[in-house]
Amino acid sequence: MLLSDLGEWELLRRLAAFAPPGQFADDAALLSETSGQQLVVNTDVLVEGVHFSDATIPARALGWRAAAANLSDLAAMGCTSVAGITVALVAPGHTPWPWVEGVYQGFQEALQQYGGVLLGGDCSSGSQRLLSITALGHLGPAGGPIRRSDGRPGDWLVCSGPHGLSRLGLALLLEELQPSQRSQLSAELEQRAITAHQRPQPRLDAIAALSRSQPAGLPWRVGGTDSSDGLAAAVAAIGVASGCGAVLERAALPLDLELAELEQGEHWCLSGGEDFELILAVEPAWAEALLQALPGSSRIGTLVDADPGALRWQENDQPLPTGSTGFCHFH
Amino acid sequence: MLLSDLGEWELLRRLAAFAPPGQFADDAALLSETSGQQLVVNTDVLVEGVHFSDATIPARALGWRAAAANLSDLAAMGCTSVAGITVALVAPGHTPWPWVEGVYQGFQEALQQYGGVLLGGDCSSGSQRLLSITALGHLGPAGGPIRRSDGRPGDWLVCSGPHGLSRLGLALLLEELQPSQRSQLSAELEQRAITAHQRPQPRLDAIAALSRSQPAGLPWRVGGTDSSDGLAAAVAAIGVASGCGAVLERAALPLDLELAELEQGEHWCLSGGEDFELILAVEPAWAEALLQALPGSSRIGTLVDADPGALRWQENDQPLPTGSTGFCHFH
């Protein structure tokens, strides 16, 4: 069964089954009333051949991952709850319906886990499969927004979890590793790496922990972003926006011990990207409380009074390699 | 200057210039606090070769039109104000920057006219140009939502303005008309038709008039949709959702006199599409007040107790031709 067999109206009817009853009945969607929490919105587009391929991700994992990437941006802005997503689906007429169904099942699974509903969307034929997702969420009741520009020299940099696993998962799926390297890896790590790549977890829970651990009397001021473009890029982005440099402790990189033994391990930890963890800059007292409140989090360094965005190793004051951070399309 | 010359970051920097300062600085966008009005969201995707082509629409008009189509959906849901839009832009690397700049200038012009800002977005390379737009707006302070399913037998059908002009504009741009037909048209009508196609006006003002004209003591109950898929399709959609049929008065079709003389005039009025007017179903007392409050509006018919979505002419009880309504992609 191909999309060209269904036609647009039947396709929309089937997609509506992934939303609450009546949700697709009108020209637009009403959001539920909320108790005054400020709303946050984010849009991401994923294009086949640029952001995903059938070789590395099955449809259901793609749906999960696309939703999770958007929810990660909401978390990076300080959201603790998700209102929902809208989805624009573009695909050629020869696209099999089961692929689309799988993608929407993935959306549904992510929304069931993190809250929110499929609010609405649109679909069209096109030469290439792509998903444009807009996510809507609310700041926490006790929290304010997180901004890249709200770091200050002296803030500790806290990272919500390990880095580099998603890139290892991609390398495994693309069969990039030499057999000698592959033989170094345990089956358990391989599975975790593939899961990290295909089923990343947006860290809305970390924002709840951040709110809980705010010391009494300390005003809300949190610098931060997510590490979708890589750990080093995330720290550099906070530094640039906040007018700070950063020192990172090489021995404290959030790097799985087994991954550290791979030649590429440290590079993937710093620049692999798509780990969807949060990098937060807060005052030391808040950071200490946050490290207690959030298992798996760690201190990776400190913001310092230096050239905006400059990153150095604490151990030897050497600059971190740059130019390998982030992604650039259109080339 | 092509997008591949700019790269993603420089492109994003240039796009950010169309948004308020700092709006693109974070992972997501905060919406301004509102005074408790319910929020409405809508997503539309426009694909080159499916929804637009360089032959029929210059970049700036495309941006206007894309924004206007989304804002029309907000109006169709009962919004009187616009919070803003997010835009996902996909285009091949060989796309000229001036085309993108023109599109965003068009967005900006529409937002300046109707309110709201460019809230955020994303961009990627891809094989085909496309725009996925999500619009956010608020219901009016005195009004509720408009639903397709809220029509009732006996409601008058009120249309906010003329129909068929956009389709005539498209025919002129595609040079579809015979020379003998073309010679029938005044230069003034040609200009209005092309403007209707390239610069449609979302009717947020009609919702304000609807609110103003609500008779005291009458509860909010408004059926409706916009006529983006055509006038007949809009009436049928209200009928299907509301469980009603409709009678339309052929002599009262909202059809420009000059256009009525063209062979295709009535067909384009009923099924041309993309006029982005509103079709509203309200009780007669409200409808009479609305017709007074909204210059250019007219009564086109009545909802009746009949097969859901069935349309008949009032003059002779004959069914309207069907099967020609709406659009279907994926074929």
Which structural domains are found in chain B, ordered by start?
3-139 (3.30.1330.10), 148-313 (3.90.650.10)
Q: Which whole number is the average pLDDT over A147-162?
A: 98
**Beta-carbon separation of A122 and B73 below 8 A:** no
**Beta-carbon separation of B329 and A124 below 8 A:** yes
Chain A residues whose CB is inside 8 A of the B130 CB are 90, 126, 130
In chain A, residues 57-86 whose CB comes closer than 8 Å to chain B: 72-74, 76-77, 79, 86
Mutate to test the interface with A, among B117, B148, B330, B331 (most CBs of A within 10 A): B330
Is A55 near chain B, with CB under 8 Å? no
Token pair for A329: 């399309």
Is residue A133 within a helix (H) or strand (E), and if so which, with residue range?
A: strand A130-139
Rg (CA), chain A: 21
Average pLDDT, chain B: 93
For position A322, what pLDDT does the model report?
A: 62
Q: Is-contact B139 A52, C-beta < 8 A?
A: no
Closest approach of chain A CAs to the CA of B317, in angstroms?
29
**Beta-carbon separation of B38 and A38 below 8 A:** no
**Beta-carbon separation of A148 and B26 below 8 A:** yes
**Beta-carbon separation of B124 and A329 below 8 A:** yes
In chain B, residues 146-205 whose CB comes closer than 8 Å to chain A: 146-149
Report d(CA A247, CA A157) in Å as an integer.
9
**Beta-carbon separation of B329 and A50 below 8 A:** no
CA angle (B70 as vertex; B69, B74 as ends), nearest 5? 115
**Beta-carbon separation of B42 and A120 below 8 A:** yes
Is the pLDDT at B233 greater than 50, yes or no? yes
Mutate to test the interface with A, among B3, B35, B41, B85 (most CBs of A within 10 A): B41
Query: Which of B3, B33, B47 comes nearest A38 by C-beta?
Result: B33
How many Cβ contacts (< 8 angstroms) between chains A and B?
220
Which band of pLDDT confidence, cut at 50, 70 and 90, is reported for residue B324? Answer: very low
Lowest mean per-residue pLDDT among A64-73, B12-21, B23-32, B188-197: B23-32
**Beta-carbon separation of B128 and A124 below 8 A:** no
Which stretches within A85-164 are classed as H helix?
97-114
Q: Is-contact B62 B68, C-beta < 8 A?
A: no
For position A32, what pLDDT does the model report?
A: 77
Report d(CA B126, CA B102) in Å as an integer.
19
Count of positions (residues) in chain A:
331
For position B322, what pLDDT does the model report?
A: 62
In chain A, residues 81-140 whose CB comes closer than 8 Å to chain B: 86-90, 93, 119-128, 130, 132, 134-137, 139
Instruction: Give burial (CB, 10 Å; 0-12/13-18/19+) of A235.
Output: buried
| Distances in whole angstroms, Cα of residue A263 to Cα of each of A229, A257, A260, A268, A311 | 21, 12, 8, 10, 22
- SS3 state at A81: strand
Lowest mean per-residue pLDDT among A86-95, A252-261, B71-80: A252-261
Give the pTM. 0.94
Chain A residues whose CB is inside 8 A of the B143 CB are none
**Beta-carbon separation of B44 and A6 below 8 A:** no
Q: Is-contact A213 A292, C-beta < 8 A?
A: yes
Is the pLDDT at A36 greater than 80, yes or no? no
For position A208, what pLDDT does the model report?
A: 95
For position A55, what pLDDT does the model report?
A: 78
End-to-end Cα, chain A, rounded Å = 35
For position A56, what pLDDT does the model report?
A: 80
Which band of pLDDT confidence, cut at 50, 70 and 90, is reported for residue B323? Answer: low
**Beta-carbon separation of A9 and B328 below 8 A:** yes
Token pair for B325: 């309504």
Amino acid at A17: A
Which band of pLDDT confidence, cut at 50, 70 and 90, is reported for residue B325? Answer: very low
Is B30 near chain A, with CB under 8 Å? yes
Is A47 near chain B, with CB under 8 Å? yes
CA atoms within 13 A on the CB side of A178: 6
**pLDDT, tens digit, 9 for 90 and up, residues B200-210:** 999 999 999 99
DSSP bridge pairs for B192: none
Average pLDDT, chain A: 93
For position B9, what pLDDT does the model report?
A: 84
**Residues B258-267: contacts with CB within 8 Å, 24+ apart?**
B258/B184, B258/B185, B258/B186, B258/B189, B259/B164, B259/B165, B259/B168, B259/B189, B259/B193, B261/B184, B262/B168, B262/B181, B262/B184, B262/B185, B263/B181, B264/B167, B264/B171, B265/B164, B266/B164, B267/B324
**pLDDT, tens digit, 9 for 90 and up, residues A294-328:** 999 999 999 999 999 999 999 999 999 765 444 45
**pLDDT, tens digit, 9 for 90 and up, residues B107-116:** 999 999 999 9
Is the pLDDT at B327 greater than 80, yes or no? no
Chain A residues whose CB is inside 8 A of the B122 CB are 43-45, 132
Report d(CA A53, CA B78) in Å as an integer.
40
| Distances in whole angstroms, Cα of residue B14 to Cα of each of A289, B3, B95 | 40, 11, 15
Query: Which of B7, B28, B89 comes nearest A41 by C-beta?
Result: B28
Q: Which whole number is the average pLDDT over A75-97?
A: 96
For position A324, what pLDDT does the model report?
A: 44
Is the pLDDT at B97 greater than 60, yes or no? yes
Residue A51: closest C-alpha in chain B: B124
Q: Which whole number is the average pLDDT over B7-15?
A: 90
Which band of pLDDT confidence, cut at 50, 70 and 90, is reported for residue A90? Answer: very high
Report d(CA A121, CA B109) in Å as an integer.
25
Of all residues in chain B, what percent are helix, strand and coil, respectively (each to 5)?
35, 25, 40
Report d(CA A236, CA A243) in Å as an integer.
10
Q: Is-contact B228 B276, C-beta < 8 A?
A: yes
Helices A59-76 and A97-114: crossing angle in degrees, nearest 10, is 40
Q: Which whole number is the average pLDDT over A258-273?
A: 93
For position A329, what pLDDT does the model report?
A: 58
For position A213, what pLDDT does the model report?
A: 97
- SS3 state at A226: strand
Report d(CA B296, CA B217) in Å as an integer.
26
- SS3 state at B130: strand
Report d(CA A203, CA A206) in Å as an integer.
5
**Beta-carbon separation of A226 and B136 below 8 A:** no
CA angle (A91 as vertex; B62, A169 as ends), nearest 5? 115
- Percentage, residues of chain A above pLDDT 70: 96
For position A145, what pLDDT does the model report?
A: 95
